[in-house]
Chain A
Amino acid sequence: MATPTPLLALEGVHKSFRTQGARVDAITDVGFTVNAGAITGLLGPDGAGKTTLMRLCAGLLLPDEGRVMVLGFDSRGASAHIQQSVGYMPQRFGLYEDLTVQENLDLYADLHGLARAARHARYGELLRLTGLGPFGRRLARDLSGGMKQKLGLACTLVHPPRLLLLDEPTVGVDPISRRELWSIVGGLVARGDTGILISTAYLDEAERCAHVLLVHKGRLLAQGPPEGFRSSMAGRGFFATAQDLSGRAVEAIVARDPAILDTVVQRDGVRVVMRAGAAPPALSGITFTPVAPRFEDAFVERLRDAASPSPVAATQAAPSPAPARLPAPKVMIEAHELRRTFGAFEAVRGISFQVERGRIFGLLGANGAGKTTTFRMLCGLLPPSSGTLAIAGVDVRAAPAAARARIGYMSQKFSLYGDLSVAQNLAFFASTYGLTGAQRARRLHWAADTFGLGPFWDTNAADLALGFKQHLALSCALIHEPKVLFLDEPTSGVDPLARREFWRRINALAWDGVTIMVTTHFMEEAEYCDELVLMSLGRILAAGTPAQIRASARTADNPDPSMDDAFVALIEMHEAPTRQAS
C-alpha cells in the first residue's frame, strides 16, 4: 500500500567537510525522493558522495543547507524519531565478529525493541530469507563475505523498517552472493509498504532498480528509471571488428573518429558507442555489429558532456600502438599442477595454466575459490605445497626473491603511504627494488611524465584525488620495470572514464611486452582480459577468451549471456552439490 507522501525526501541538500582547514564540498544541491514499494538505486563511483548521502538520510549527518525529510520527520530536529523506524546498513556493516549469528540478531532485536513473543517467527523468516538457518551458532567472523552481508541485512531487518537504507551491500561480494542479496531486497519491496534506497558502485546493478539516481562528484547527474537511461542509448552501441587485427589495433583506427563517443577494447574487437544521431563510420575492413545498450553507456555520455568537449581525450594519454609490432610469443607465467593445502584443507587443488608475454590474463572465482591463495603463490608470498611455478623463467619455489624482482603489484586499496608525498612514495618504492642514483632519477622522471604526477610532486598521497592516487599506485608498481604486473581488482568502484583510461594504459603496457595478471570478481574488468580462467573450490572450472566463456553459458533462455551470467551459471553448476550440502 503506497503512501502518497514519499518516505524520504531531500531538497537542495548541501554538505561540506573541513579537512585540514580547507572546506571540501561533499554534496552539492542534491534533491530526490524515495517511495514505498520500489528500489531506488544510488549509483556512482567511489568518492561520489554516496556514503555521505546515506548518512544524511539516516540522520547521522546534518545538511549544511536544505532539508532531509524522513517519514515526515526533519532530520535536523528529530533524528531520534528517524532512527526508530529506519533500517540503516552502513558500508562494511559492523557485525560483532565475536558474536554468533543468533547473538547478533538478538542484539538488534533488543535495540529495536522487538517483543520476545514476536522473535521466534521473525528470526525464522529472516534465516530462511538469507539462508543462514544452519549457521545460527557460528561466529560472525567465520562466515564468508557474502554471508556476512546477508547477516548484516538480516540484523537491519529484525524490526521490519518502513525505509531501508543500504550502503553498498554488494561491494566486495562475489556475483553469486550479489544475486542472492538482490533477490532478498527484491522480495522486501514486493510487499509494497517498504521503500529501499540502495547504493552501489557496480553500474550493471542499475537494471535491478525501479528508479536510479546517478551521482558524481557530489552532484546528482541524472535520475529516472533505468530503461530511460538505456533507451536514450538504443541503436548507438556497436561491436567493431576487423579481420587479422586485434581489438587494440582496431581501437587505434576507430577512436580517431569524432562521431564516436566511447570505445572499450576487448580481445577481438572494440565496443563502440556513437554520439547521438551519428551512424558508425565507413572504414574499410572494419565491420560494425549492433550490440545492446548498457546503463554505463548513458553514464559515460553524461560524464563526457560534463567533463570535456574534446572527443575521447583520454586516448592521448597512451601512445597509439603500431599494429605491426607483435612481440615474439614467450611463456612468462607457467603454473603446473600447483597445489596448496592448509592443514587438512586443500585451498588449491592442482591447477595448471600458461600466460604468454604481453597478454592480459584474468583469474576469476567466487569468494573461497582459491583465488587469493593462487595469487599469493604467484607473487612468491606463499610457497606451493607441490607443483611447479615459474615467472619470467625463474622458478618461484627455488628463488622467490628473484621472481619477486620481476613482478609489480597493485591492489585495489593502492597501498600507498598517505603521509608521504608523491615523490617520497615513488622514491621509497624505487629504493625497495634496489634502484639508486641515475637509474632511480630516470624512473622518477618517467613516472612524473607518463602519469602527469609532476604538478602534485610534493602533495601527500592521502590528499590526491582518487584518479591520481591510482596513477601513483600504478607508477609505484611499475617503478622497477617489472616483466609481470599483478592487478588485484584495480578498477572496481572507479568511474567509467577513469577505468577506460586505466585500461588503456594497461593495454599499452601489454603492447610493450609486459604480462598482466588480473584477479577480480568485478565482471566488467574480466572483459578487458585476453584470456581468463574461472576458479571454483580450488580447481579451474573454465578457461578461454571472454567470448568463449560467455558462449559456454549460452542457453535457450539466455542466448547472449553477460560475463556475470556466465560466471554464475558455471559456478552454480559446479558448486551446486557442495552448496546444498552445507
Chain B
Amino acid sequence: MNAQRLRGLIRKEALQIVRDPSSIAIAFVMPLVLLLLFGYGVSLDARHVPIALVAERPSAQTSGFFSGFWRSPYFKAYGYPDMRDARRALMRRDVDAIVWLRSDFTRQVLRGASAPIGVIVDGVNANNARIIEGYVQGVWASWLAAQARERGQPLTLPVDIRSRVWFNPALRSHDYLVPGLIALIMTLIGALLTALVVAREWERGTMESLMASPATIPEILVGKVVPYFFLGMGGMILTVVMAITVFSVPFVGSLWLLFAAAALFLLTTLGMGLLISTIARNQFVAGMIAVVTTYLPAFILSGFIFDIHSMPWPIRLLTHTIAARYFVAILQTLFLAGNVWPVIGGNMAALGLIALLFLGLVARISRKRLD
C-alpha cells in the first residue's frame, strides 16, 4: 500500500463528504430525525390511556374506587352516566377501555361480600390491551389495600408477589429503544452510504479512471472505509450524547467499551456496503439492496424493538446472521446494565467474526477489471 495514493484517495473522499449535503444528511440529520421520532413519538408504554368510568348508582364507595383512575398518570378518565354511552365511546375509539360498577356495587361492598367489577378492553391492539388490563388490576389492588387499612384489617392474599425490576426500574421503553437506535443509525451510515458512493463512482465513470490508475484494490477499499468510518463514529457520538442529555437515558457501562464495540460494528456494516457495491453499479439498485439486506433486518431482527426470544426458531436462527443483533445486545447492556462481560465478550467476538468475513470477501472478489 502506497501512502501517497492512499492519502490522495482519503482526502478526495473527505472533500466529497464535505461538499455533498446528502452524505452529511444521512450521517447527522437522519440520526437526529430518527432519535426525535423514536424518543418522543414511539413509545411502547401505555400512558394517558383514555378510559370510560361508569357507575350505575354513584356513591362514596364508587367514587372512592374511581379516584385511583382519576389520579393515575397512566389513565385519562372520562365519566359516563350509563353503559350505553360508554359503549358508544368505545366503538368510536374515544376510549380504550370501560370500567363498569353495577348498581349493587355499593351494597355488596358495605356488606363485605365480593363485588363484581366489569372491565371491557378494546383488544384490537393486543399489546396495549394487555398493558391496560394490568394497570386496571393495579388500581384495583391498591384500592383493596386501602379498604383493608381503613377497616384496620391486614389484607390477606394467598401469595404475596414482591417484584423488582432491574436495570430499567421505571420501565421506560425509550431507555432501551434509544440505545438500539444507535445500531440502526450506524447500519444506515455504514452500509447505505458506502454502497451508494461506490455506485455513484460507477455511474459517473470515475471508477473506470480509478481502475486504470496505479491505485491498487486494497488502496481503493481502504480509501472508502476510512472516511466513512469516521463519519459513522461521528454519527454514533451524536446519538450517544443526545441519548444521555436529551432523553436522559442512563449510561452505566464503560465509554471505551462502547467505542470499541461501535468500531467493530461499523466495520461489519462498511464491509456489507462494499460487498453490495461490488454487485450494484447503480445508486438506485445499491440503495434498495442496502435497505433490504441491512437496514430492514437491523430494524426487525436485531431485537431492537421485537424480542428475539418470542420469535419462532427458524427466524431466531436467522437473527444470528444479523450483525446488528450483537451490537443491540451490547448497547442495551452497556447503557442499562453496565460492563457485563459474559454478554459483551461473546457479542464482540461475533461482531469481529462478521466484520472479518465481509471485508475478506470484498477484498477477494474485487478486481481491477471491468468484465
Interface residues of A (CB under 8 A from B): 17, 55, 58-62, 79-80, 83-84, 86, 88-99, 103, 106-113, 139, 155
Contact of A17 with B214 at beta-carbon distance under 8 Å, contacts A99-B12, A110-B4 already known: no
Q: Told that A60-B208, A94-B210, A111-B8 touch, could you supply 6 new A-B pairs with CB distance under 8 A?
A: A55-B370, A90-B209, A98-B16, A113-B2, A113-B4, A155-B209
How far is B19's CA from A139's CA once the two chains are assembled, in angstroms? Answer: 10
Contact of A110 with B5 at beta-carbon distance under 8 Å, contacts A60-B369, A84-B214, A98-B19 already known: yes
Closest to B4 in A: A110
Which of B34-42, B84-92, B107-115, B199-207 forms part of the interface with chain A? B199-207
For A98, list chain B residues within 8 Å (CB).
15-16, 19-20
For A96, list chain B residues within 8 Å (CB).
12, 16, 206
Question: Would you call B48 an interface residue if the criterion is a C-beta within 8 Å of the partner chain's C-beta atoms?
Answer: no
Q: Contact: A88 with B7, CB < 8 Å? A: no
Give which listed residue, A59, A62, A86, A94, contacts B207 with CB less than 8 A: A94
How far is B10's CA from A107's CA once the two chains are assembled, in angstroms? Answer: 10
Closest to A100 in B: B15
Closest to A110 in B: B8
Question: Would you call B117 an interface residue if the criterion is a C-beta within 8 Å of the partner chain's C-beta atoms?
Answer: no
Return the CB mask of B1-45 against A: 1 if under 8 Å, else 0. 010110111011001100110000000000000000000000000
Q: What are 15 residue pairs bridging A and B, where the CB atoms are less than 8 Å apart in the complex?
A: A59-B212, A60-B370, A62-B371, A83-B213, A88-B209, A90-B209, A91-B205, A94-B209, A98-B19, A98-B20, A99-B19, A110-B8, A110-B11, A111-B9, A111-B210
How far is B210's CA from A95's CA once the two chains are assembled, in angstroms? Answer: 10
Q: Contact: A95 with B2, CB < 8 Å? A: no
Contact of A106 with B20 at beta-carbon distance under 8 Å, contacts A58-B212, A60-B211, A60-B370 already known: no
How far is B8's CA from A108's CA once the two chains are assembled, in angstroms? Answer: 8
Q: Contact: B20 with A83, CB < 8 Å? A: no
For B2, list chain A residues within 8 Å (CB).
113
Q: Contact: B208 with A94, CB < 8 Å? A: yes
Contact of A61 with B12 at beta-carbon distance under 8 Å, contacts A95-B206, A110-B5 already known: no
Question: Would you call B49 an interface residue if the criterion is a C-beta within 8 Å of the partner chain's C-beta atoms?
Answer: no
- Report, nearest first, the 9 A-B pairs whose CB atoms are least far apart: A110-B8, A94-B206, A94-B205, A88-B212, A98-B19, A90-B208, A111-B213, A94-B209, A60-B370
For B288, list chain A residues within 8 Å (CB).
none
For A110, list chain B residues within 8 Å (CB).
4-5, 7-9, 11
For A111, list chain B residues within 8 Å (CB).
5, 8-9, 210, 213-215
Question: Would you call B368 an interface residue if the criterion is a C-beta within 8 Å of the partner chain's C-beta atoms?
Answer: yes
Question: Would you call B339 an interface residue if the criterion is a C-beta within 8 Å of the partner chain's C-beta atoms?
Answer: no
Q: Contact: B8 with A106, CB < 8 Å? A: yes
Q: Contact: B206 with A103, CB < 8 Å? A: no
Q: Contact: A17 with B371, CB < 8 Å? A: yes
Give B367 Cβ to nearest chain A Cβ, in Å: 10
How far is B208's CA from A112's CA once the two chains are assembled, in angstroms? Answer: 15
Q: Contact: B4 with A103, CB < 8 Å? A: no
For B207, list chain A residues within 8 Å (CB).
94
How far is B216's CA from A74's CA once the two chains are assembled, in angstroms? Answer: 18
Give B210 Cβ to nearest chain A Cβ, in Å: 8
Q: Contact: B205 with A92, CB < 8 Å? A: yes
Interface residue count on the B side (C-beta < 8 Å) = 30
Interface residues of B (CB under 8 A from A): 2, 4-5, 7-9, 11-12, 15-16, 19-20, 201, 204-216, 368-371
Give B83 Cβ to nearest chain A Cβ, in Å: 60
Closest to A152 in B: B209
For A108, list chain B residues within 8 Å (CB).
213
Give A79 Cβ to nearest chain B Cβ, in Å: 7
Contact of A86 with B212 at beta-carbon distance under 8 Å, contacts A17-B371, A61-B370, A79-B368 already known: yes
Closest to A15 in B: B371
Q: Contact: B213 with A99, CB < 8 Å? A: no
Give A117 Cβ to nearest chain B Cβ, in Å: 13
Among B7, B201, B206, B368, residue most surrounded by chain A Cβ atoms (within 10 Å):
B206
Give A462 Cβ to nearest chain B Cβ, in Å: 15
How far is B213's CA from A155's CA once the two chains are assembled, in angstroms? Answer: 11
Closest to B219 in A: A111
Give A62 Cβ to nearest chain B Cβ, in Å: 7
For A88, list chain B residues within 8 Å (CB).
209, 212
Closest to A155 in B: B209
Closest to B6 in A: A110
Contact of A90 with B213 at beta-carbon distance under 8 Å, contacts A110-B4, A113-B4 already known: no
How far is B11's CA from A113's CA once the two chains are assembled, in angstroms? Answer: 15
Give B344 Cβ to nearest chain A Cβ, in Å: 40
For B368, list chain A residues within 8 Å (CB).
59-60, 79-80, 83
How far is B214's CA from A79's CA once the two chains are assembled, in angstroms? Answer: 10
How far is B9's CA from A96's CA once the two chains are assembled, in angstroms? Answer: 12
Q: Contact: A103 with B204, CB < 8 Å? A: no
How far is B204's CA from A93's CA once the two chains are assembled, in angstroms? Answer: 8
How far is B206's CA from A108's CA once the two chains are assembled, in angstroms? Answer: 12
Give B136 Cβ to nearest chain A Cβ, in Å: 58
Give A555 Cβ to nearest chain B Cβ, in Å: 40
Give B193 Cβ to nearest chain A Cβ, in Å: 15
How far is B16's CA from A94's CA once the two chains are assembled, in angstroms? Answer: 14
How far is B211's CA from A79's CA once the two chains are assembled, in angstroms? Answer: 11
Q: Contact: B204 with A97, CB < 8 Å? A: yes
For B19, list chain A residues within 8 Å (CB).
98-99, 139
Q: Contact: B5 with A90, CB < 8 Å? A: no
For A103, list chain B residues within 8 Å (CB).
12, 15
For B215, list chain A residues within 8 Å (CB).
111
For A84, list chain B residues within 8 Å (CB).
214
Give A28 Cβ to nearest chain B Cβ, in Å: 17
For A112, list chain B residues within 8 Å (CB).
213-214
For A79, list chain B residues within 8 Å (CB).
368
Q: Contact: A61 with B205, CB < 8 Å? A: no
Q: Contact: B369 with A62, CB < 8 Å? A: yes
How far is B371's CA from A94's CA once the two chains are assembled, in angstroms? Answer: 18
Give A61 Cβ to nearest chain B Cβ, in Å: 5
Give A563 Cβ to nearest chain B Cβ, in Å: 31
For A109, list chain B residues within 8 Å (CB).
8
Among B11, B206, B209, residue most surrounded by chain A Cβ atoms (within 10 Å):
B209
